[in-house]
Structure 1
């Protein structure tokens, strides 16, 4: 799913029911064309994430709600204590169903699994419900095996984890994002917050922009427990910095604003 589609799905689930014109108006400020919005809505509907409630209005489906819950749940792992149990997914999908196999592999990587051996993926976190749902949607449950336990020989060290999840490359991503946040985004936001009256639409555009960045980081970062991370790891502090800034933006949008509904999940916490 493209990033704009994920964000539109998030907005629809926040508002529960929304019309196309509202979405077009929102994304006009981000230079996203109306056609891209309509194409995204068509794909989301085709994939079963949203449904038409009436002409040009959409609501999220149970499948769409499950997807949003999965995305929202991953950042919560930052504060979670790991119980030391590893979760494994093994599969052998026939070559004739290669597209399904590739889609399944891509879904596992987005959840945060790492490739231990060929077709053997591991995660310190329990994603079995998400994995089973993904396998079921692709029609490959008979070729997928899920297990959990601990390693009794040749277990994973931070050095091995660094290679399995390519944490060096991910660290570069975080360094680039932190430079952008501190050098560009944050100063621009501060100027915006000092304006009188507050421009709620401009604030909401910043909310969407930062939210998209956080979503990208969440999909790239397996959110490994501290025991498996390098001592110099900056991912956790950078991610939390972005989340705190997102909350600041959400709480700064006036309660009477038409955009307040879309940030209610953030302001309620």
Structure 2
């Protein structure tokens, strides 16, 4: 799922339902064409993440809520101790069910798994519940095998993770984003926070930063600190951006129509 779609899903999950015209209004203020939003909504409805019980009004489904909850848990893993065990997911899905297989692979990668071999994925975190939910969603329960344990012979974990995830490239991305955040974004929002408003300008910047953070967390496997180099910038970048998001959310007036979208973040 694209970061824009994930963010729209997050916004809809924070309300009991939202009209298309409200979403269009919000994203046109960010320079996003209304058709892009409408296409994203239709795509997520087709995939089962949204439903539309009323004309031009969308609500999140149980599947959508499961997805957004799972993905939003990734930053919570920062600083969590690792037990040294790996979860391995193995599956064999025939070509006739290729679409299901590709969807499962995509979900595993977004969750943070690394591809050890073709159709063999590993993670240092215990995602058993999430994987089983994916398998049930795609009707692949009988085609998966899950194992948990250590690698033998015991390879240095740091060498293993560099084979599975492009951490050096991701660290460069974090470096560029944190530089932009500190030199440009932070200084631009200070006048907005001080000036009285209906909250739209603040909410637009909240969405801008939130979309960037969503994109970063989708790419980041959120590995334990024990598996990361000392020069890893991900933790500092994510925590600084999260703090800024809370600052922006708090600055949106209580009476603003956009406040309800950020209350769950506070």
* Shift in CA distance, 118/156, structure 1 to aligned 2, threshold 3 Å: farther
Tell me the equivalent position of 2:101.
101
> Pairwise CA RMSD of aligned residues?
1.6
CA–CA distance in structure 1, aligned partners of residues 197 and 80 of structure 2 = 37
Alignment-derived partner of residue 28 in structure 2: 28
Q: How far apart in 1 are the matches of 2:103 and 2:21? A: 32
- After superposition, residues 1-269 of structure 1 pair within 5 angstroms as 1-195=1-195, 197-198=196-197, 200-267=199-266
- Structure 1, unmatched stretches of 5+, are none
Q: Within 1, Cα distance between the matches of 2:101 and 2:13? A: 29
1:21 Cα offset (Å):
1.3
CA offsets 1:24-73 (integer angstroms, 9 cap, x no match)? 11111011122222222211221221222322212111111111111211
Secondary structure at 1:189 match in 2: helix
**Cα-to-partner distance string for 1:233-261 (whole Å, 9 max, x where unaligned):** 11111111111111111111111111110
Work out the CA distance in 2 between the residues paired with 1:137 and 1:171: 33
SS at match of 1:108: helix
When normalised by structure 2's length, the TM-score is: 0.94
How far residue 152 of structure 1 moved from its aligned partner, in angstroms, is 4.1
Aligned length: 266
CA distance in 2, matches of 1:162, 1:48: 35
Q: Which has the higher contact order (CA 8 A, sep 6+)?
A: 2
2-structure distance, mates of 1:226, 1:13: 31
Cα distance in 2 for residues equivalent to 1:157 and 1:51: 43
Instruction: Judge conservation of contact 2:252–2:259 (CA < 8 Å) in 1.
Output: yes
**1:74 touches 1:223 (CA, 8 Å); kept in 2?**
yes
Deviations 1:80-111 (CA, angstroms, capped at 9, x unpaired): 22122211101122233333323222221111
Residues 140 and 95 (structure 1 numbering): CA distance in 2 closer, same or farther, change over 3 Å? same
**4+ residue runs of structure 1 moved beyond 4 angstroms?**
none
Alpha-carbon distance in 2 for matches of 1:258, 1:111: 32
Task: Give the whole-Å Cα distance in 1 for the aligned partners of 2:105 and 2:71.
Answer: 17
SS at match of 2:116: strand
